[in-house]
Amino acid sequence: MKKISIIAILCLLVMSMSAIVSAEEMTTPQQTHNDAAQVAKTSYRLAIIPYINSTEENKGYIQEIVDGKYTEHYSNKNFQIIPLEEVQKALNSTGYDISNQELAEKDILASVAKETNADYVIAMEISQLITTRHMSFFQAKVVTKAKLRYKFYNAEKDKVASFQVTGLSENKTVFGDVGYKDPITKALNQAMDDANEKIKGYL
């Protein structure tokens, strides 16, 4: 009788272990699929509209500064930046003319998103970039104020978020001269850093 009971218990244990293994085999592929889907959701297709500089400040290094924070900032695993040629082709099909120095409206951003299969579209304008020099007997100071306007389009929600950011930089020296590049760089970087933080909140 005892032998029969022991055999019965062993059989139950074997059946239980088989059920656990079968359950794991069934759930593992599904879990893998879910994990892959989660990873896919963190990679977004991004269309970046060429920026507008509607100020009178057009020094060559401004392009370099903007490229570092407006475009290259999104060159990471979380984004797939759509080639500029595709973005420009989509813009051309809408009749949008960047030389008019106006940010694209919602219908244009939506059209670009549709044509390029983008999840998000970004447009930016340097609307103010003022640099002034202040001289005194012992000190020279250069002050730069930057103001940027952004539009961020979410294709899934069909919504545009518009916002404005500013940057301020002061460079002082007691002896010698103060250049313009450093304060302009700092003011623009400060404004674009603020903008990129805002954009993170819209993702």
* pLDDT tens digits, 53-72: 999 888 888 888 888 888 88
What pLDDT score was predicted for residue 180? 74
DSSP 102: -
Mean pLDDT of 32-37: 45
Contacts of 165 (CB under 8 A, 6+ apart): 147, 148, 150, 191, 192, 194, 195, 198
Question: Comparing 68-77, 94-103, 149-158, which segment has the lowest mean pLDDT?
Answer: 68-77
Identify the pLDDT of residue 61: 85
135 backbone dihedrals φ, ψ, rounded to 5°? -120, 140
> Are residues 131 and 168 in contact, defined by beta-carbon separation less than 8 angstroms?
no
- Token readout for 96 is 């949008």
If phi over 0 gives left and psi between -120 and 50 gives alpha, with beta otherwise, what is residue 123?
beta
Q: What is the pLDDT of residues 96-133, one digit of tens each?
A: 988 888 999 999 999 999 999 999 999 999 999 988 87
